[in-house]
């Protein structure tokens, strides 16, 4: 689903047969200016959607910009009814996506100075994955695969269903897609390395266990860590020598940030 389709669905959901309050209270020909301002420190995301909602926009910042309270994101001008009717949809997107970007930036800042990159995941709101991954990227995270179609990630249940690490990796040898495999034990780890696996996922290890496993891998493959890694622990995991850390919380647990909209009559 494209951003334009997502916005169109959001407008249809909210407006339905019409904005009865605005249509009754506001003269049809009245013109106005609206200002989007932030009320807390945040990394803004989603400003690319505003042209899908308003015709006349003055952007004050780009997505990915760190803002302090009081800063303006954008100024929109036009028919007062249109500005008011689309206000909530615009704020919903900006608040949600900026929350994701803000949390992503916190994780990225926490591992700064290491060689580790923060990845997002597929733990996204159904229908909003493209926008949420765009927001994670605005916060400095690296996008993992978009879906089940653009990369191969062999996880524990795939290994079980395939009959083991060897059968699973042998089955994907001819693919041109990136291949990653999750290993749960040292035996699976050695099996994967023996099969030539170049990208390993290690899940639910402690930082010390991760450092031990990564030392054993000895750069024979790139390593991604995942599983309950928080802002408080991510630095220790990054210092284990991991190449990547994937964090589902960036998209599934980000808090919507405080942005408000003020209307001024022209």
Whether 133 is catalytic is no
Residue-range domains of the chain with CATH = 3-102+255-265 (3.90.1170.20), 142-246 (3.20.20.70)
Whether 88 is catalytic is yes
Residue 62: the pLDDT is: 98
Strand partners, 38: 259
Q: Is the pTM of this model over 0.85?
A: yes
Q: Residue 188 pLDDT more than 90? A: yes
Q: Residue 266 pLDDT more than 90? A: no
Q: List pLDDT tens digits, range 15-46.
A: 999 999 999 999 999 999 999 999 999 999 99
Catalytic-role residue among 14, 109, 188, 203: 203
Name the residue among 2, 104, 89, 86 with its Cα closest to residue 43.
104
Catalytic-role residue among 182, 191, 224, 243: 182
Helices (H), 62-151: 80-85, 87-110, 129-138
Residue 1: the pLDDT is: 84
Please report which confidence band the pLDDT of residue 107 belongs to, taking 50, 70 and 90 as the band edges: very high
Contact status, residue 169 vs residue 192, Cβ threshold 8 Å? yes
Whether 203 is catalytic is yes
Strand partners, 164: none
Whether 182 is catalytic is yes
Whether 71 is catalytic is no
Q: Residue 75 pLDDT more than 90? A: yes
Catalytic-role residue among 71, 155, 212, 258: 155
Strands (E), the chain: 31-38, 42-43, 56-59, 66-67, 72-79, 117-119, 152-154, 179-183, 199-203, 222-226, 244-246, 259-265
Angle, helices 207-217 vs 186-194, to 10°: value is 30
Contact status, residue 14 vs residue 89, Cβ threshold 8 Å? yes
Catalytic-role residue among 35, 71, 88, 184: 88
Structure tokens, 189: 């780890």
């Amino acid at each position: 689903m494209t951003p334009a389709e997502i916005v169109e669905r959001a407008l249809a959901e909210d407006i339905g047969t019409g904005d009865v309050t605005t249509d009754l209270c506001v003269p049809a020909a009245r013109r106005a200016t609206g200002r989007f301002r932030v009320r807390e420190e945040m990394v803004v995301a989603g400003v690319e959607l505003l042209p899908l909602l308003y015709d006349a926009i003055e952007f004050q910042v780009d997505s990915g910009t760190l803002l302090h309270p009081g800063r303006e994101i954008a100024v929109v001008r036009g028919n007062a009814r249109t500005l008011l009717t689309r206000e909530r949809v615009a704020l919903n997107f900006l608040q949600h996506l900026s929350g994701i970007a803000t949390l992503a930036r916190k994780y990225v800042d926490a591992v700064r100075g290491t060689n580790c990159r923060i990845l997002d995941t597929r733990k996204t709101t159904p229908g909003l994955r493209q926008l949420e991954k765009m927001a994670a990227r605005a916060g400095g995270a690296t996008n993992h695969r978009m879906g089940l179609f653009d990369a191969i990630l062999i996880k524990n249940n795939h290994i079980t269903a395939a009959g083991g690490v060897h059968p699973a990796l042998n089955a994907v040898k001819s693919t041109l897609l990136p291949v990653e495999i999750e290993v749960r034990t040292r035996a699976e780890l050695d099996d994967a390395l023996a099969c030539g696996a170049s990208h390993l996922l290690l899940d639910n290890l402690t930082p010390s266990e991760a450092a031990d496993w990564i030392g054993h891998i000895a750069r024979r493959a790139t390593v991604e860590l995942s599983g309950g890694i928080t802002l408080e622990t991510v630095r220790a995991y990054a210092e284990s020598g991991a190449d990547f850390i994937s964090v589902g919380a960036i998209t599934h647990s980000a808090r919507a940030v405080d942005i408000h909209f003020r209307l001024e009559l022209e």
